[in-house]
Amino acid sequence: MQKENEIITALKDYIDAKALQEETIRDIAKLERKKKTIEQDSVKGSMSTFPYTAKNFHISGISYTPEDADTLKEDEEILRERARKTGETRRMVERYMNRIPARMQRIIKYKLFDRDSWDTVAARLGGDKTGDAIRKEFDSFVGKETEI
């Protein structure tokens, strides 16, 4: 029963877990780019003795400091852990979906992943069943009443 509850929770969180994993991977890439960002500027100056000729100087460098290294490394570790956990949730749901009957896969996909109403799920499945009948079929499969 504990495993069933865990799967139902994971099914409900699947869409968010998948999106969060993609966002986290983008955040990690952003941190990597931050380490390599080159700052550029130009300044005006002149010689310190006569003739005081004005000159433009182009300066550039990496703004990444050793103090930033620890912070960025910790942030990256946190993001990698988040990506790993959301990936585990996503894979667990996908493995579960492969083990259940095709009809139930469709019901779960339409209701939980596409977030359709029960009546819309019934219409997409075809046949003469109502949304309420599809909900009861889902509840029976899950083994309990579910408010989704």
pLDDT at 76 over 50: yes
9-24 pLDDT, tens per residue? 777 788 888 888 888 8
Which DSSP letter does residue 37 get? P
The H-or-E segment that residue 43 falls in is strand 38-46
* β-pair partners for 60: 40
Q: Is 98 left (phi over 0), alpha (psi -120 to 50) or beta?
A: alpha
Question: What six digits make up the tokens of 2?
Answer: 């504990």
pTM above 0.75, yes or no: no
Nearest to 34 by CA among 71, 80, 66, 72: 72
Cα–Cα dist 113/124, whole Å: 14
The residue extents of the domains of the chain are 1-38+57-99, 101-148
28-64 pLDDT, tens per residue? 888 778 777 778 888 888 877 787 788 888 888 777 6
